[in-house]
Amino acid sequence: MNFTKRTFYSVFIFSLFFSSLHAQEIKRIQPEWWFGGVLGGNINFYSSDFKSLNTGNSVSTPFTKGSGLGLFISPLLEYRPHSVWGGMLTFGFDGRGGSFSDVNSGDTTLSLSTSMNYLSLEPSVRIAPFAEPIYFFVGPRIGFNVAKSFTLEQSLGVETKGDFDNTRGTVIGGQIGAGYEFSLSNPESEWQTVLSPFLAVHFGQGPRSEIDWGLTTLRFGAAIKFGNTKEIKEKVEREVQFSVRAPRIIPKERKVQETFPIRNYIFFDQNSAVIPNRYIRLTSEQTETFKEEHLLQPEPKDLTGRSRRQMTVYHNILNILGDRMRKYPGTTVTLTGSSEQGRASGEALAVAIGAYLEGVFGIDPNRINTKGSAKPSVPSVLPGATRELDLVVPEDRRVEISSSSPELLEPVQIISLQEDPLDSDVLFSVRNAQDYFASWSIILTDENGKVTRFGPFTTQQERISGKIILGGKMQGKYKVELEGQTSDGKVVKKEESMKLVQSDEPEEAPGYRFSILFEFDQSKTVATYERFLTQSVTRLIPDGASVIIHGHTDIVGEESHNLKLSQNRSQEAMNVVERALLKAGKKNVKFDTYGFGEDVRRAPFDNNLPEERFYNRCVIIDIVPE
């Protein structure tokens, strides 16, 4: 391993070591401008191949390598307009001296040392991508030579001193490094002081223009930095904007006609080609009285429990398929089984589904085509995946139902009650919260002085159910106080007010709900639903209506990634609906678009079964009655 690789590994290990010291996530309110000083040591490494020192001095055997120590001392200026990126500037004394390894010339041993020193100007880009106070910096190094002397000693005690010739007056190179900041100040102090040990590697042009002499430096040291937080804290007060959006009225009860898509996958247990027990299977006699409509139009007492009812519909997928194939005798299906054990095992899964349709519903086997594969067409296990395999591997052990007849797999209509619709939520928005606050909370005080606290939160928006806030009352007036906590202990407060009113009667007009499903880790699947969104959804949105679009994901993957993915899904769905409304000439439609990610408080389903995770990869569109 050469020196350059060793030094880069040193910087990497240095950053890992200091990140392990600070595992807790924090958000810092920091000054934009810092000033201070840097004191460090240079470990200089020479690689060379020269005999000539200057016009009057040369040796018969070339010097090939060397090393040495030098001092670096400089004032420091930093600018941090953003919590992630900024700039650094130093200009100071930079010692690059050292000694070459002795060489033998005949019976004489030659020793060569040098004082190769510079005034170095080092502007750098500063990057702090993590929550921990570790940062990286990279930039050019411009060195102005101020000393180029050498001392040549021979074994007989003869010593020659002089200056190297062909020396560059200005050298241009580069540096890359990492540092870590330890706060030395009281969190409440206006002046902040940090101590920052660092490690960096320098590389670039050699000291001499016509001679082969490479110089690489590993610099270690510490910086002391001072900054004033008064201006930035005043900026926080100005830029943190707090708003409250309360519902006009909270519905007591809303009956909803929901279009529920049938996910065309049937999942199997490991090492088994038997249809799992959670899928509802009938006898031949029971199929005589089975009707899909019985699942979709429940008795009034069975209107609640949306998730349970929808999973019941899904777990009847084989019976729904069999019933529809009897209703449409000219249709055919293809069953494609996938198994990690190979094509033959996958086909055995498909054959099990086909046998049920044939034996129980009496479907002609010529209408059923079965195939096998090691992987489904859109797998959940991505190439090179190593994490959460216990969740994604079972998702690829499935049978996919496909047909050229859309009536076999069209969505179903479900009538249900929305127990706590999203439009009854109070939306609290804190602009720039993630930049300035470690956390924030909401404190509500009602007319009687009762105080209720919600939080702490870390996102820019949070929704709280209006029914939960009312706590059984029909109406209430509230003082709303935002309490934001910065990482340095400062509390920022903002105040608003709101009034909540709950309806005492069920709504007369029904609401509408539509769901569209996405494949694993994808947000572009919405394009396949464009015709459905344009024709089926948009036609039910009247002028002046409210449309709530909320995206969801399963629990596979990083929480932050899933939050962004759900936001992308809901935003793309809204774009399609907006274009269709514009084309249809419908106006004044209000959108509330939100991404919940994998938030279990808002997830449509649990995440225990593969089918639950697949149904959670969705966007739900609520059309709210006026």
- The total of structural domains in the chain comes to 4
In this prediction, the residues of the chain whose per-residue pLDDT falls under 70 are: 1-29, 187-188, 232-239, 296-306, 487-490, 520-528, 626
Q: Are 83 and 64 in a shared domain?
A: yes
In the 3-class helix/strand/coil scheme, how is 531-572 assigned residue by residue?
HHHHHHHHHHCCCCCEEEEEECCCCCCCHHHHHHHHHHHHHH
In this predicted structure, what is the pLDDT of residue 23?
A: 38
Give the side-chain half-sphere CA count within 13 A for 626: 10
In this predicted structure, what is the pLDDT of residue 367?
A: 96
> Distance between CA atoms of 58 and 60, rounded to whole angstroms?
7
In this predicted structure, what is the pLDDT of residue 346?
A: 95
Q: Are 547 and 530 in a shared domain?
A: yes
Q: Distance of CA 13 to CAs 5, 10, 136, 198, Å?
A: 12, 5, 13, 12
List the structure tokens of 531. Answer: 């015709």
Q: Are 338 and 477 in a shared domain?
A: no
Q: Which residues contact 449 (CB under 8 A, 6 or more apart)?
A: none
**Which CATH number belongs to the domain containing residue 386 in this structure?**
3.30.1330.60
Task: Provide the β-strand partners of residue 196.
Answer: 223
Q: What amino acid is encoded at 360 in this protein?
A: V
Nearest to 621 by CA among 554, 546, 562: 546
List the structure tokens of 59. Answer: 């040796």
In this predicted structure, what is the pLDDT of residue 406?
A: 87
Q: Given 356, 386, 410, which residue is the final one in a domain?
A: 410
Nearest to 113 by CA among 148, 61, 71, 82: 148
Any domain includes 257: no
**Which CATH number belongs to the domain containing residue 464 in this structure?**
2.60.40.10
Q: What's the farthest any 2 CA atoms get from each other in the chain?
A: 114
Q: Are 216 and 332 in a shared domain?
A: no
Give the side-chain half-sphere CA count within 13 A for 437: 27
Any domain includes 308: yes
Nearest to 80 by CA among 44, 153, 133, 122: 133
Q: Are 214 and 98 in a shared domain?
A: yes
Q: Which residues contact 233 (CB under 8 A, 6 or more apart)?
A: 29, 490
In this predicted structure, what is the pLDDT of residue 504?
A: 80
Ramachandran region of residue 300, left (φ > 0), alpha (ψ -120 to 50) or beta? Answer: alpha
Q: Given 410, 426, 446, which residue is the final one in a domain?
A: 410
Any domain includes 20: yes
In this predicted structure, what is the pLDDT of residue 19?
A: 46
Q: Given 378, 410, 442, which residue is the final one in a domain?
A: 410
> Distance between CA atoms of 302 and 313, rounded to whole angstroms?
13
Q: Are 379 and 443 in a shared domain?
A: no
Give, to the nearest 10 degrees, the angle between helix 317-327 and helix 343-361. 60
In this predicted structure, what is the pLDDT of residue 383?
A: 83
- What is the DSSP-derived secondary structure letter of residue 43? E
Task: Provide the β-strand partners of residue 192.
Answer: 227
In this predicted structure, what is the pLDDT of residue 557?
A: 87
> Distance between CA atoms of 394 and 611, rounded to whole angstroms?
10
In this predicted structure, what is the pLDDT of residue 489?
A: 61
Range(s) of the domain holding residue 354: 263-410
List the structure tokens of 9. Answer: 């590994």
